[in-house]
Amino acid sequence: MAEQNFPQGTLMAGKRGLIMGVANKNSIAWAIARQLATQGAELAFTYQGDALERRVRPLIEGIGADLMVQCDVTDDASMDSAFAAIEKKWGKIDFLVHSIAFAGKEQLAGSFIEQTTREGFLSAMNISAYSFVDAARRASHIMNDGGGMVTLTYLGSERVIPNYNVMGVAKAALEASTRYLAADLGPRGIRVNAISAGPIKTLAAAGIGSGRHMFRFNKAAAAMQDNTDPMGVAGAALYMLSDLGLSCTGETHHVDGGFHAIGMPQEAPLKASLGIES
Ligand SMILES: NC(=O)c1ccc[n+]([C@@H]2O[C@H](COP(=O)([O-])OP(=O)(O)OC[C@H]3O[C@@H](n4cnc5c(N)ncnc54)[C@H](O)[C@@H]3O)[C@@H](O)[C@H]2O)c1
Protein backbone atom coordinates (compact mmCIF):
# COMPACT_ATOMS: atom_id res chain seq x y z
CA MET A 1 0.00 0.00 0.00
CA ALA A 2 1.33 3.45 -0.91
CA GLU A 3 2.32 5.56 2.07
CA GLN A 4 0.00 8.46 2.75
CA ASN A 5 1.35 11.96 3.23
CA PHE A 6 -0.18 15.33 4.00
CA PRO A 7 -0.06 17.81 1.09
CA GLN A 8 3.37 19.29 0.46
CA GLY A 9 4.21 22.55 2.18
CA THR A 10 6.99 24.72 3.53
CA LEU A 11 6.35 24.60 7.27
CA MET A 12 9.77 23.05 7.91
CA ALA A 13 11.68 24.65 5.02
CA GLY A 14 15.25 25.53 5.99
CA LYS A 15 15.12 23.37 9.13
CA ARG A 16 17.34 20.39 9.85
CA GLY A 17 16.66 17.74 12.44
CA LEU A 18 17.55 14.36 13.86
CA ILE A 19 15.12 11.44 13.93
CA MET A 20 15.95 8.71 16.46
CA GLY A 21 13.95 5.48 16.36
CA VAL A 22 13.15 4.35 12.84
CA ALA A 23 13.31 0.53 12.77
CA ASN A 24 11.14 -0.07 9.70
CA LYS A 25 8.33 1.44 7.66
CA ASN A 26 5.82 0.86 10.47
CA SER A 27 7.79 2.86 13.03
CA ILE A 28 6.04 5.94 14.40
CA ALA A 29 9.31 7.81 13.82
CA TRP A 30 9.02 7.01 10.12
CA ALA A 31 5.48 8.41 9.89
CA ILE A 32 6.77 11.59 11.54
CA ALA A 33 9.88 11.76 9.34
CA ARG A 34 7.83 11.52 6.15
CA GLN A 35 5.56 14.40 7.11
CA LEU A 36 8.50 16.56 8.18
CA ALA A 37 10.18 15.86 4.83
CA THR A 38 6.96 16.70 2.99
CA GLN A 39 7.15 20.11 4.67
CA GLY A 40 10.72 20.72 3.49
CA ALA A 41 12.78 19.55 6.48
CA GLU A 42 16.23 18.07 5.96
CA LEU A 43 16.58 14.92 8.07
CA ALA A 44 19.31 12.87 9.70
CA PHE A 45 18.60 9.46 11.21
CA THR A 46 20.06 7.23 13.88
CA TYR A 47 19.49 3.49 13.71
CA GLN A 48 20.12 1.01 16.50
CA GLY A 49 22.38 -1.54 14.85
CA ASP A 50 23.54 -3.23 11.67
CA ALA A 51 20.48 -5.50 11.51
CA LEU A 52 18.24 -2.46 11.15
CA GLU A 53 20.47 -0.58 8.71
CA ARG A 54 19.29 -2.55 5.71
CA ARG A 55 15.66 -1.74 6.52
CA VAL A 56 16.20 1.92 7.28
CA ARG A 57 18.60 2.86 4.47
CA PRO A 58 16.17 2.28 1.55
CA LEU A 59 13.47 4.22 3.41
CA ILE A 60 15.57 7.28 3.99
CA GLU A 61 17.04 7.20 0.50
CA GLY A 62 13.46 7.21 -0.77
CA ILE A 63 12.95 10.66 0.77
CA GLY A 64 16.29 11.97 -0.46
CA ALA A 65 18.09 11.79 2.92
CA ASP A 66 21.56 10.32 3.32
CA LEU A 67 22.82 11.21 6.80
CA MET A 68 22.39 8.07 8.83
CA VAL A 69 24.44 7.05 11.88
CA GLN A 70 24.42 3.99 14.10
CA CYS A 71 23.49 4.73 17.71
CA ASP A 72 22.75 2.57 20.73
CA VAL A 73 21.34 4.89 23.40
CA THR A 74 22.70 2.71 26.24
CA ASP A 75 26.26 3.32 25.10
CA ASP A 76 27.85 6.71 25.78
CA ALA A 77 30.55 6.20 23.15
CA SER A 78 27.89 5.42 20.56
CA MET A 79 25.91 8.55 21.52
CA ASP A 80 29.13 10.62 21.42
CA SER A 81 30.01 9.48 17.93
CA ALA A 82 26.46 9.82 16.55
CA PHE A 83 26.10 13.42 17.71
CA ALA A 84 29.68 14.22 16.64
CA ALA A 85 28.90 12.93 13.13
CA ILE A 86 25.82 15.13 12.87
CA GLU A 87 27.66 18.19 14.19
CA LYS A 88 30.51 17.55 11.76
CA LYS A 89 28.18 17.35 8.77
CA TRP A 90 25.67 20.06 9.67
CA GLY A 91 27.06 22.15 12.54
CA LYS A 92 23.62 23.03 13.87
CA ILE A 93 20.20 21.37 14.01
CA ASP A 94 16.70 22.73 14.61
CA PHE A 95 14.81 19.76 16.01
CA LEU A 96 14.97 16.30 17.57
CA VAL A 97 12.48 13.43 17.40
CA HIS A 98 13.00 10.78 20.09
CA SER A 99 10.94 7.67 19.38
CA ILE A 100 12.74 4.98 21.35
CA ALA A 101 11.63 2.56 24.05
CA PHE A 102 12.45 -0.94 25.20
CA ALA A 103 11.58 -3.37 27.98
CA GLY A 104 12.29 -7.08 28.03
CA LYS A 105 9.38 -9.22 26.84
CA GLU A 106 9.24 -11.00 30.21
CA GLN A 107 8.56 -7.62 31.88
CA LEU A 108 5.61 -6.97 29.60
CA ALA A 109 3.40 -9.94 30.43
CA GLY A 110 1.78 -10.86 33.72
CA SER A 111 1.70 -8.90 36.93
CA PHE A 112 3.82 -5.82 37.50
CA ILE A 113 4.65 -6.87 41.05
CA GLU A 114 5.98 -10.29 40.11
CA GLN A 115 7.54 -9.58 36.73
CA THR A 116 9.53 -6.43 37.47
CA THR A 117 13.15 -7.23 38.20
CA ARG A 118 15.79 -4.67 39.21
CA GLU A 119 17.58 -5.26 35.93
CA GLY A 120 14.38 -4.99 33.89
CA PHE A 121 13.31 -1.83 35.70
CA LEU A 122 16.66 -0.09 35.21
CA SER A 123 16.93 -1.15 31.58
CA ALA A 124 13.42 0.14 30.74
CA MET A 125 14.17 3.42 32.50
CA ASN A 126 17.54 3.75 30.82
CA ILE A 127 16.39 3.11 27.26
CA SER A 128 12.89 4.58 27.44
CA ALA A 129 13.31 7.64 29.70
CA TYR A 130 16.95 8.53 30.38
CA SER A 131 17.81 8.27 26.69
CA PHE A 132 15.57 11.28 26.02
CA VAL A 133 17.30 13.37 28.69
CA ASP A 134 20.69 12.35 27.29
CA ALA A 135 19.72 12.95 23.66
CA ALA A 136 18.05 16.27 24.55
CA ARG A 137 21.19 17.51 26.30
CA ARG A 138 23.43 16.53 23.40
CA ALA A 139 20.98 17.92 20.84
CA SER A 140 20.63 21.19 22.78
CA HIS A 141 24.38 21.78 22.44
CA ILE A 142 24.04 21.90 18.66
CA MET A 143 20.48 23.22 18.39
CA ASN A 144 19.60 26.68 17.17
CA ASP A 145 17.56 28.76 19.60
CA GLY A 146 13.88 28.42 18.78
CA GLY A 147 14.20 24.71 18.01
CA GLY A 148 11.96 21.86 19.08
CA MET A 149 12.04 18.37 20.57
CA VAL A 150 9.37 15.68 20.64
CA THR A 151 9.18 12.30 22.35
CA LEU A 152 6.60 9.50 22.19
CA THR A 153 4.72 8.26 25.22
CA TYR A 154 1.64 6.20 26.08
CA LEU A 155 -1.34 6.37 28.46
CA GLY A 156 0.16 3.52 30.49
CA SER A 157 2.06 6.29 32.32
CA GLU A 158 -1.19 7.69 33.77
CA ARG A 159 -3.41 4.61 34.10
CA VAL A 160 -2.85 0.92 34.58
CA ILE A 161 -2.80 -0.93 31.26
CA PRO A 162 -2.54 -4.73 31.58
CA ASN A 163 0.96 -6.03 30.76
CA TYR A 164 2.39 -2.56 30.09
CA ASN A 165 3.91 -2.79 33.57
CA VAL A 166 7.39 -1.30 33.93
CA MET A 167 7.03 0.53 30.64
CA GLY A 168 4.21 2.58 32.21
CA VAL A 169 6.59 3.62 34.99
CA ALA A 170 9.27 4.52 32.43
CA LYS A 171 6.75 6.57 30.42
CA ALA A 172 5.77 8.48 33.58
CA ALA A 173 9.45 9.33 34.03
CA LEU A 174 9.68 10.31 30.37
CA GLU A 175 6.72 12.70 30.67
CA ALA A 176 8.15 14.28 33.84
CA SER A 177 11.52 14.61 32.07
CA THR A 178 9.75 16.40 29.21
CA ARG A 179 8.53 19.07 31.64
CA TYR A 180 11.96 19.53 33.25
CA LEU A 181 13.65 19.73 29.85
CA ALA A 182 11.04 22.27 28.72
CA ALA A 183 11.89 24.45 31.72
CA ASP A 184 15.64 24.23 31.14
CA LEU A 185 15.46 24.96 27.42
CA GLY A 186 12.52 27.38 27.42
CA PRO A 187 14.67 30.50 27.85
CA ARG A 188 16.37 29.62 24.55
CA GLY A 189 13.02 29.29 22.83
CA ILE A 190 13.49 25.52 22.49
CA ARG A 191 10.17 23.74 23.03
CA VAL A 192 9.99 20.18 24.40
CA ASN A 193 6.80 18.14 24.14
CA ALA A 194 5.51 14.57 24.31
CA ILE A 195 2.87 12.88 22.19
CA SER A 196 0.82 10.22 23.95
CA ALA A 197 -0.16 7.99 21.04
CA GLY A 198 -2.83 5.29 21.12
CA PRO A 199 -1.80 1.74 20.16
CA ILE A 200 -0.26 1.43 16.68
CA LYS A 201 0.96 -1.83 15.12
CA THR A 202 4.75 -1.62 15.27
CA LEU A 203 7.66 -3.82 16.30
CA ALA A 204 7.65 -2.32 19.81
CA ALA A 205 3.89 -2.82 20.26
CA ALA A 206 4.28 -6.49 19.28
CA GLY A 207 6.33 -7.03 22.44
CA ILE A 208 3.43 -6.21 24.76
CA GLY A 209 1.37 -9.14 26.06
CA SER A 210 -2.30 -9.42 24.91
CA GLY A 211 -1.72 -6.97 22.06
CA ARG A 212 -4.78 -8.13 20.11
CA HIS A 213 -7.04 -7.40 23.07
CA MET A 214 -5.46 -3.95 23.41
CA PHE A 215 -6.24 -3.02 19.81
CA ARG A 216 -9.79 -4.39 19.94
CA PHE A 217 -10.56 -2.71 23.27
CA ASN A 218 -9.11 0.62 22.15
CA LYS A 219 -11.16 0.58 19.00
CA ALA A 220 -14.35 -0.13 20.93
CA ALA A 221 -13.73 2.27 23.81
CA ALA A 222 -12.14 5.31 22.12
CA ALA A 223 -14.36 8.34 21.53
CA MET A 224 -13.78 7.92 17.78
CA GLN A 225 -14.32 4.14 17.99
CA ASP A 226 -11.23 3.55 15.94
CA ASN A 227 -7.56 2.83 16.42
CA THR A 228 -4.96 5.58 16.20
CA ASP A 229 -3.80 6.66 12.76
CA PRO A 230 -0.01 7.22 12.70
CA MET A 231 -0.69 10.19 10.41
CA GLY A 232 -2.41 11.92 13.35
CA VAL A 233 0.69 11.37 15.47
CA ALA A 234 2.86 12.74 12.66
CA GLY A 235 0.57 15.76 12.34
CA ALA A 236 0.92 16.51 16.04
CA ALA A 237 4.71 16.24 15.76
CA LEU A 238 4.67 18.61 12.80
CA TYR A 239 2.64 21.12 14.84
CA MET A 240 5.01 20.82 17.80
CA LEU A 241 8.21 21.10 15.75
CA SER A 242 7.10 23.88 13.41
CA ASP A 243 6.11 27.47 14.11
CA LEU A 244 2.50 26.26 14.34
CA GLY A 245 3.36 25.16 17.85
CA LEU A 246 4.85 28.45 19.10
CA SER A 247 4.40 28.83 22.87
CA CYS A 248 3.50 25.15 23.30
CA THR A 249 6.02 23.40 25.56
CA GLY A 250 6.16 20.93 28.46
CA GLU A 251 2.97 19.37 27.11
CA THR A 252 1.87 15.74 26.86
CA HIS A 253 -0.62 15.74 24.01
CA HIS A 254 -2.90 12.72 23.49
CA VAL A 255 -3.39 11.44 19.95
CA ASP A 256 -5.48 8.36 20.65
CA GLY A 257 -8.91 8.89 19.13
CA GLY A 258 -10.06 10.28 22.48
CA PHE A 259 -9.47 7.03 24.39
CA HIS A 260 -7.92 8.97 27.29
CA ALA A 261 -11.09 11.06 27.70
CA ILE A 262 -13.47 8.17 28.25
CA GLY A 263 -14.48 7.09 31.75
CA MET A 264 -16.82 4.29 30.66
CA PRO A 265 -16.99 2.88 27.13
CA GLN A 266 -20.26 2.75 25.17
CA GLU A 267 -22.02 -0.57 25.75
CA ALA A 268 -22.69 -1.76 22.20
CA PRO A 269 -19.19 -1.45 20.66
CA LEU A 270 -17.60 -2.82 23.80
CA LYS A 271 -19.85 -5.90 23.86
CA ALA A 272 -19.23 -6.45 20.16
CA SER A 273 -15.47 -6.22 20.62
CA LEU A 274 -15.52 -8.66 23.52
CA GLY A 275 -17.97 -11.00 21.79
CA ILE A 276 -20.69 -10.61 24.46
CA GLU A 277 -24.21 -11.17 23.12
CA SER A 278 -26.51 -9.60 25.76
N1 LIG B 1 3.23 1.52 18.88
C2 LIG B 1 2.48 2.01 19.83
O3 LIG B 1 1.35 1.54 20.06
C4 LIG B 1 2.96 3.17 20.66
C5 LIG B 1 2.02 3.93 21.37
C6 LIG B 1 2.48 4.99 22.15
C7 LIG B 1 3.83 5.28 22.21
N8 LIG B 1 4.71 4.50 21.51
C9 LIG B 1 6.13 4.84 21.61
O10 LIG B 1 6.60 5.22 20.33
C11 LIG B 1 8.01 5.05 20.32
C12 LIG B 1 8.41 4.33 19.03
O13 LIG B 1 7.94 2.99 19.04
P14 LIG B 1 7.25 2.32 17.80
O15 LIG B 1 5.92 1.84 18.27
O16 LIG B 1 7.35 3.17 16.60
O17 LIG B 1 8.10 0.98 17.62
P18 LIG B 1 9.47 0.69 16.81
O19 LIG B 1 9.86 -0.67 17.26
O20 LIG B 1 9.28 0.92 15.38
O21 LIG B 1 10.47 1.79 17.39
C22 LIG B 1 11.18 1.62 18.60
C23 LIG B 1 12.58 2.08 18.31
O24 LIG B 1 13.37 2.05 19.52
C25 LIG B 1 14.68 1.73 19.09
N26 LIG B 1 15.50 1.29 20.22
C27 LIG B 1 15.21 0.38 21.18
N28 LIG B 1 16.28 0.21 21.99
C29 LIG B 1 17.25 1.05 21.53
C30 LIG B 1 18.59 1.31 21.91
N31 LIG B 1 19.17 0.69 22.95
N32 LIG B 1 19.29 2.24 21.21
C33 LIG B 1 18.75 2.88 20.15
N34 LIG B 1 17.48 2.65 19.73
C35 LIG B 1 16.76 1.74 20.41
C36 LIG B 1 14.46 0.61 18.07
O37 LIG B 1 15.62 0.40 17.28
C38 LIG B 1 13.30 1.17 17.29
O39 LIG B 1 13.77 1.95 16.21
C40 LIG B 1 8.37 4.31 21.60
O41 LIG B 1 8.78 5.25 22.57
C42 LIG B 1 7.04 3.71 22.00
O43 LIG B 1 6.95 3.43 23.38
C44 LIG B 1 4.30 3.47 20.72
Ligand 1 in reach of 202 Cβ (< 6 A): yes
At 3, the pLDDT band (50, 70, 90 cuts) reads: confident
> 240: which residues sit within 8 A by CB, 6+ positions away?
148, 150, 191, 193, 195, 248, 251, 253
| CB contact burial 245-258 (16+ within 10 A = b; e otherwise) | beeebbbbbbbbbe
Q: What is the pLDDT of residue 2?
A: 61
For residue 214, give the amino acid letter. M
Decide which of 3.40.50.720, 3.55.50.30, 3.40.50.300, 3.20.20.70 is the CATH code for 16-274: 3.40.50.720
* pTM reported for the whole predicted model: 0.98
pLDDT average, residue stretch 112-126: 98
Residue 143 has pLDDT above 90, yes or no: yes
pLDDT in tens, 66-110: 999 999 999 999 999 999 999 999 999 999 999 999 999 999 999
Residue ranges covered by each domain of the chain: 16-274
Has residue 182 got a pLDDT over 90? yes
pLDDT of residue 261: 98
Residue type, 41: A
Q: What is the mean pLDDT of the chain?
A: 96
Helix spans in the chain (H): 28-38, 50-62, 76-90, 112-115, 118-125, 131-141, 165-185, 203-206, 211-221, 230-241, 267-274
Task: Report the 10 Å Cβ neighbour count for 51.
Answer: 9
Instruction: Determine if ligand 1 sits within 6 Å of the CB of residue 200.
Output: yes
Nearest C-alpha to atom 9 of ligand 1 is from which residue? Answer: 152
Please indicate whether residue 197, judged by its CB atom, sits closer than 6 Å to ligand 1: yes
Q: What is the CA radius of gyration of the chain?
A: 18
Q: Which atom of ligand 1 is nearest to the CA of 28?
A: 16
